[in-house]
């Protein structure tokens, strides 16, 4: 990525807020719908005919992708375009793993991240269609455990509110619990401990955890696991035979891409057996689906056909329309067009009709799914690098489809990204930092409402935080006096700060960290009792 690195505060299941620039113009007519097929090459016009708007847009996108990949150091990418009932373009670019030779093709598997949310919402619609519940039912009527801090919100939160991103909680609440190995049940119980930052239904704030509550509801009525229900009710009827919901399934697939993160040395592959990869299993209803562009093209055609699959109707048309009905205002573009969150989809005002889309990001992959109901056209992009390629592919395709100027979008975005990095460098350590207190002043048992009991120990002369069910050991590097830096146990280029507050007895009463709850401070208070003593794992105290 030309020597600059990509940073995001929450790097898994990321949903970009306002990511589109102006999409100028409208096509003169709708692209022609072709017969049902599985075409995997770009369409070619007869020599006597001029290219259609759709053919031009595909050609522009096809030409732009290599440049986007080069600008952002993306090892591999796959893209498909659908028109009506046909997949009119499907192509792989690059390689599955940096430094390797295995090419990406349309059947290569990727994690689709938060594009999974629309699958969960559609699965919920299948139960609502059968009368198991209604989207406007209070969630607590069906989920005895469901409880938020405000009793009124708990009582009035509807099933649809769980998927509309407006519960009033801080963005990305509780995501770190999954990355640290806490269970889905623990995460759901912890919703009560999250302090709201806005009024209920008043403000957009992206969440993953509430989708776990939806999955629990579906499992209660369906009598099977989320993955089994999704397979039975959505994937099998659509013929999405390659798609699944387990990390192990993609890790063991010989035609799967490997996730990467950018570094100054280039794309860094991420190992599938790293503990943090289990995050996608825990948060499967919010971001754990694995697929390829051929299967995702079937998903797009199903959505363009308002719930009709290859063997007939799967979801009622009115339910499909509800899933993409605006629920929460996200923001406005520079041209005044508004973005809304729906039920696992985002609604972008555009002409001749809205663009319905969602993007996703896991620890090492970025995805995009988008379609225009009015034009009968859809687009999917899957890639094996975290980055900004989702918005660039979306802008390029729909901008070209609508006759806009999409030249140099990637170069301009990269320039803006590099400027942002330069203006937001991490805090540098002081040249002459104040020394810390003796290690024993910080050692001890601490607890927070959300993360439970943790421990600060001396391991080989290194102050170390022991956190989570896996007992992850996080080294604390001294920064200045009672402030330390911690590299959390998942890929992230920006260390978190751990700040100790010292009591009258000369020992820490508490510490805060800014890296667990999406840069909000989390407080851990000391539990009364003796500090843990050095063991065979620990070195002598300094």
Strands 483-486 and 472-480: antiparallel
- Return the exposure string of 128-140: e unless at least 16 CB atoms fall within 10 Å of the residue's CB, then b: beeebbebeebbb
pLDDT tens-place string over residues 454-504: 999 999 999 999 999 999 999 999 999 999 999 999 998 788 999 999 999
pLDDT in tens, the chain (542 residues): 333 333 333 333 444 433 433 333 333 333 333 333 334 554 443 333 567 999 999 999 999 999 999 999 999 999 999 999 999 999 999 999 999 999 999 999 999 999 999 999 999 999 999 999 999 999 999 999 999 999 999 999 999 999 999 999 999 999 999 999 999 999 999 999 999 999 999 999 999 999 999 999 999 999 999 999 999 999 999 999 999 999 999 999 999 999 999 998 999 999 999 999 999 999 999 999 999 999 999 999 999 999 999 999 999 999 999 999 999 999 999 889 999 999 999 999 998 999 999 999 999 999 999 999 999 999 999 999 999 999 999 999 999 999 999 999 999 999 998 898 888 887 788 899 999 999 999 999 999 999 999 999 999 999 999 999 999 999 999 999 999 999 999 998 788 999 999 999 999 999 999 989 876 889 999 998 654 544 434 433 33
Bin 306: left if φ > 0, else alpha if -120 < ψ < 50, else beta: left
Residue closest to 503 by CA, chosen among 536, 523, 525: 525
Supply the pLDDT for residue 51. 78
How would you list the strands of the sheet with 34-37, edge to edge?
A: 34-37, 76-94, 377-383, 366-372, 355-361, 346-348, 338-341, 328-332
Supply the pLDDT for residue 238. 98
Are residues 333 and 146 in contact, defined by beta-carbon separation less than 8 angstroms?
no
Supply the pLDDT for residue 209. 98
Copy the structure tokens of residue 48. 């006597």
pLDDT tens-place string over residues 61-72: 999 999 999 999
Show the CA angle centred on residue 332, arms to residues 326 and 338, nearest 5°: 30
CB-based burial label for 306 (10 Å; 0-12, 13-18, 19+): middle
- How many CB atoms lie under 10 A from the CB of residue 427? 12
Supply the pLDDT for residue 437. 98
Are residues 278 and 247 in contact, defined by beta-carbon separation less than 8 angstroms?
yes
What are residue 371's DSSP bridge partners?
Answer: 356, 378
Distance, in Å, from the CA atom of 95 to the CA atom of 151, rounded to the nearest integer, reads 51
Which strand (E) or helix (H) includes residue 151?
Answer: helix 151-156
Quote the DSSP letter at residue 226. H
Residue closest to 489 by CA, chosen among 186, 206, 181: 181
Supply the pLDDT for residue 524. 98
Quote the DSSP letter at residue 380. E
Q: What is the pTM of this model?
A: 0.91
Which strand (E) or helix (H) includes residue 55?
Answer: helix 53-71
Distance, in Å, from the CA atom of 387 to the CA atom of 255, rounded to the nearest integer, reads 22
Residue 525 DSSP SS3: strand
Copy the structure tokens of residue 507. 């020992």
Supply the pLDDT for residue 529. 66
Distance, in Å, from the CA atom of 226 to the CA atom of 457, rounded to the nearest integer, reads 39
Supply the pLDDT for residue 50. 64
Strands 377-383 and 508-517: unpaired
Roughly how many angstroms between the first and final C-alpha of the chain, as a whole number? 42
Distance, in Å, from the CA atom of 528 to the CA atom of 503, rounded to the nearest integer, reads 13
Distance, in Å, from the CA atom of 381 to the CA atom of 399, rounded to the nearest integer, reads 16
Distance, in Å, from the CA atom of 380 to the CA atom of 76, rounded to the nearest integer, reads 14
Residue 297 DSSP SS3: helix
Supply the pLDDT for residue 530. 52
């Amino acid at each position: 990525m030309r020597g600059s690195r990509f940073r995001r505060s929450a790097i898994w299941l990321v949903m970009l807020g306002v990511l589109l620039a102006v999409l100028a113009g409208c096509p003169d007519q709708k692209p022609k719908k072709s017969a049902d097929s599985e075409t995997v090459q770009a369409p070619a016009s007869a020599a006597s005919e001029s290219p259609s708007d759709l053919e031009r847009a595909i050609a522009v996108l096809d030409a732009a992708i290599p440049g986007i990949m080069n600008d952002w150091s993306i090892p591999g990418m796959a893209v498909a375009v659908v028109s009506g009932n046909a997949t009119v373009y499907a192509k792989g670019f690059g390689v599955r793993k940096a430094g390797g030779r295995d090419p990406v093709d349309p059947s290569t598997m990727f994690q689709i991240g938060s594009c999974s949310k629309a699958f969960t919402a559609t699965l919920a619609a299948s139960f609502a269609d059968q009368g198991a519940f209604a989207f406007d039912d209070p969630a607590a009527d069906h989920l005895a455990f469901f409880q938020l801090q405000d009793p009124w919100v708990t009582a009035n939160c509807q099933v649809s509110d769980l998927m509309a991103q407006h519960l009033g909680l801080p963005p990305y609440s509780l995501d770190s619990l999954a990355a640290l190995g806490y269970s889905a049940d623990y995460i759901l119980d912890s919703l009560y401990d999250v302090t709201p930052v806005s009024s209920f239904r008043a403000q957009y704030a992206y969440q993953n955890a509430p989708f776990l509550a939806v999955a629990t509801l579906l499992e209660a009525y369906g009598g099977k696991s989320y993955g089994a229900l999704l397979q039975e009710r959505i994937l099998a009827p659509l013929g999405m035979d390659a798609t699944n919901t387990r990390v192990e399934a993609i890790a063991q697939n010989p035609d799967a891409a490997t996730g990467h993160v950018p570094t100054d040395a280039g794309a860094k592959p991420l190992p599938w057996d790293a503990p943090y990869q289990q995050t996608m299993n825990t948060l499967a209803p919010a971001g754990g689906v694995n697929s390829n562009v051929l299967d995702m093209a079937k998903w797009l055609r199903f959505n363009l056909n308002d719930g009709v699959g290859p063997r007939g109707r799967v979801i009622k048309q009115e339910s499909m329309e509800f899933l993409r009905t605006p629920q929460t205002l996200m923001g406005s573009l520079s041209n005044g067009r508004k973005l809304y969150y729906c039920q696992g989809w985002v609604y972008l005002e555009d002409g001749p009709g809205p663009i319905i889309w969602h993007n996703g990001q896991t620890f090492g992959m970025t995805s995009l799914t988008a379609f225009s109901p009015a034009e009968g056209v859809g687009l999917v992009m899957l890639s094996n690098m975290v980055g900004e390629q989702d918005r660039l592919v979306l802008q390029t395709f729909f901008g070209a489809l609508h006759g806009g100027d999409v030249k140099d979008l990637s170069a301009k975005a990269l320039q803006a990204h590099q400027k942002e990095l330069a203006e937001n460098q991490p805090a540098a350590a002081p040249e002459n930092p104040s020394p810390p207190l003796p290690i024993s002043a910080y050692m001890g048992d601490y607890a927070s409402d959300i993360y439970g009991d943790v421990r600060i120990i001396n391991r080989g002369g290194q102050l170390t935080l022991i956190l989570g069910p896996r007992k992850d050991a996080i080294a604390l590097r001294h920064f200045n006096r009672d402030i330390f830096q911690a590299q959390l146990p998942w890929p992230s280029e920006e260390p978190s700060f751990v700040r100790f507050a010292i009591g009258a007895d000369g020992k820490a009463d508490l510490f805060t960290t800014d890296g667990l709850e999406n840069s909000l401070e989390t407080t851990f208070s000391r539990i009364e009792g003796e500090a843990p003593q050095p063991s065979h794992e620990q070195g002598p105290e300094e």
